[in-house]
Structure 1
């Protein structure tokens, strides 16, 4: 490992010259590797370390057992693209360039609205520090040939789906390999279908046409492992945004078999989006546990290569679970949203409060839990502080580093956490301590009449399920929250919210 030896020598020389360092890596010879695994639509209750009882996630549980479990962590948004934008830019939805899922149309057939060319994002910052950067899974932050495609946003190696819509099929006909596509040995079929009324919904053969020969998450996982092997001698940032367990419900049969007969089942014939499935509950459990297996493979390889002591593992989800029965899912059965109100697309807790576990052997104490309020925009300053580059944090970010919390040090509470979305009717929310304000119906159709804005208020210490609006009982608290809601929103011509912008 000649490159690492050189880096060690440089680090020692710099350490002597400086005399002391306040960074988390002062005692480390080289900057730590970062493995950031992002699940897709995984709910707060979908991990056994967060209370799931119908299936187990032992490898993710191990990250929690050997590190810290963040019990009050919030995704960047309630849907995919703006959540990833907040993660990458350190900006919340009121300031970020991408605030809702939106397709990118010019000259391409797939992909979402792009990050601007001058966006300051985590991969660019780490790359400037000497990191090799890779992304494996679903990108969703800029169509091919746009300013937001991965290779233009600081990613050295990309493999997977560019477009969220294409990722609805786990057996696609092609995937992106850097800036070119590679063909897969899968038949072409649409990811949204309904069985004919004459179909035998209990016959496994009825569903054979919804599978292929190459399961995309397996191919993506192999490329992620190759990236680790190829870069074992230099610091790397592995961003692993898996498409699991987003719909459609698809997974190889060998993963479904252990769950067949374990749950009461009703075949899903289609009709509520995505693909029919004979055993939807067993398939969902199989998808999550197969994803957990892939997490274990990454952890095992890092250990095998002797990198375990100097690698930060992070696992979380991009938003809450799907609303019940969409595409055959049954989040109520699995208690995916825990006790929280709301699902994907909602700014109530169930849509944005997500599981999060972090492990850094020898630096983060094992078996710790923290209820500190944290969010996706916090990861940029947090990671930069952990790798010894807090001074590289852009001055305008909304994120607040919680590196001290991860390292077992005391830290004042986050002043507030803000979210907004022009989608799902238009919503805003802000959390201050245990108080949370929520607004809805801010963005009705262009011809609909705007209604007076109503602001709900909840005390999450007494009412984590947000069942009782106490705005009338606490006018002073409400006034402070309303002021924050107004202050944190900036107008976006691309993603307007009529009630706030008109």
Structure 2
């Protein structure tokens, strides 16, 4: 009798796994619940606890006060899908399957609003995800928000990758609109009471950009972020009697700039706020700065509701909260995109660039972790950590019997305990889009290579840049010429840190990979 797909996956899991040592809890204790909240395009400086002065985030800031801030934490990639792949598989971008955003539509044509044609390139069935590791450890697993790792009928669909429950968007392109006409509820779509309108549009010639009424047609009745947060809270209520893993992949504050009026009113009039009539992507907004701030504060409100619920249910001491972002802020690299204004909010927190860039502003992200009585309150760690580290770390705190051995991530449980932990040897990043980028960090040194995939018919000499982040966190002073031996060593490490991918080719690097 042939093995089922699930049986094959379990067999692969057993062959590629090692049993971790549970350091937080004795075996007779209930494993902790894990609530992992992933913001979408939130910059390093967008939280009050990370220096933000204009946007209010009291509940996330509370988590920072009551737990640990990770100040040198790196997303898996400067954009959505590959970053999430690193997070869920524990493999860095040099070995992860998904390395760039790519649609995977039937017939090669994706039609936004038609569920049968949506979705991104899928992670393979054989990949072992964090959700599967926790599911096999006895956790109830639920995902809510944005997926982006495989269409509804693909091997990468969330219910085929370790999640017992899914609610939200499957396709990243559909998630560009907070008032969609449908969302996914497990493996079926549910209609929403929203008018259909494109997620990329401008005001018409007959619409006055200085008249608020011109922007009304870009609103709806059911705000997706509200629906997603309510379903996430229901998951907590429904699973309070057993360990659960809640993966809350919020779509905030990814553009388009859309937020209900009751939240928008909290910021309207606080500062000069020129209308965005469109023209730089996505849809117009009359108060773009207020909208960006209000989106983040509304997300923070919902996180506060989750904290309150956990406390009401008596689960606070048995629940780990993690909050971080999938990459840097939207307009840190593309100023003014969709009406965003990273400079006004200092969204990158003094780091260079933002989303889409492999400089610090694109990949270093805010991160806070709290677990009462286990993680020291009010603590900060400057140890370098990355998205690939979450799978082994959370597998360990959950007491999972087995975690994959073919991963790049390293558990940082000792760091979370407030203990000394040796520094990681290196942290590698690559991105075969936006002209091709590559970087590696070793200690405070960071080597960066840009323009590895220039436009056709363009001849460009690629020179490796070198920065000392301990004294130059903004990456303003390229000291490559002063340290030729170090530069050569880091270039060699970059070549050795990757495996070529036939699905996501990176010609310049593939040819040089040993």
TM-score (norm 2): 0.92
Equivalent positions of 1:384-399 (< 5 A) are 384-389=395-400, 392-399=402-409
| Mapped pair 1:472 → 2:481 | yes
Q: CA deviation at 1:188?
A: 0.3
Q: What is the rounded CA distance, in whole Å, between the counterparts of 1:187 and 1:22 in structure 2?
A: 50
Partner of residue 444, structure 2? 434
Contact kept, 8 Å, 1:444 with 1:498, in 2: the verdict is: no
Q: Which runs of 5+ in 2 are unaligned?
A: 1-20, 108-115
| Mapped pair 1:402 → 2:412 | yes
Q: What is the rounded CA distance, in whole Å, between the counterparts of 2:317 and 2:366 in structure 1?
A: 24
Q: CA deviation at 1:159?
A: 0.2
Partner of residue 489, structure 1? 498
Partner of residue 379, structure 2? 368
Partner of residue 268, structure 1? 276
Partner of residue 157, structure 1? 165
Equivalent positions of 1:230-241 (< 5 A) are 230-241=238-249
Partner of residue 431, structure 2? 421
Q: CA deviation at 1:450?
A: 5.5
Q: CA deviation at 1:449?
A: 5.0
Contact kept, 8 Å, 2:76 with 2:87, in 1: the verdict is: yes
Equivalent positions of 1:59-138 (< 5 A) are 59-106=59-106, 108-138=116-146
TM-score (norm 1): 0.94
* Large movers: runs of 4+ above 6 Å: none
Q: CA deviation at 1:54?
A: 0.6
Q: Which runs of 5+ in 1 are unaligned?
A: 1-20
Secondary structure class of the residue paired with 1:258: coil
Residue 335 (structure 1) aligned to one of 346, 350, 357: 346
Residue 460 (structure 1) aligned to one of 461, 464, 469: 469
Q: CA deviation at 1:490?
A: 1.2
- Paired residues, what number? 480
Q: What is the rounded CA distance, in whole Å, between the counterparts of 1:28 and 1:371 in structure 2?
A: 33
Residues 171-218 of structure 1, C-alpha deviations (whole Å, 9 max, x = no match): 000000000000000000001101123321122211111010000000
Residues 329-374 of structure 1, C-alpha deviations (whole Å, 9 max, x = no match): 0010000001111110000000000000000011001000110000
| Mapped pair 1:51 → 2:42 | no
Q: What is the rounded CA distance, in whole Å, between the counterparts of 1:249 and 1:377 in structure 2?
A: 30
| Mapped pair 1:501 → 2:494 | no
Distance 1:201 1:392, change over 3 A: same
Residues 357-409 of structure 1, C-alpha deviations (whole Å, 9 max, x = no match): 000011001000110000000001111111223x6221111001111000111
**What's the C-alpha RMSD, in Å, of the aligned pairs?**
1.2
Secondary structure class of the residue paired with 1:160: strand
Q: What is the rounded CA distance, in whole Å, between the counterparts of 1:501 and 1:122 in structure 2?
A: 28
| Mapped pair 1:357 → 2:368 | yes
Contact kept, 8 Å, 1:23 with 1:387, in 2: the verdict is: no
Partner of residue 16, structure 2? none
Q: CA deviation at 1:452?
A: 3.9
Equivalent positions of 1:188-199 (< 5 A) are 188-199=196-207
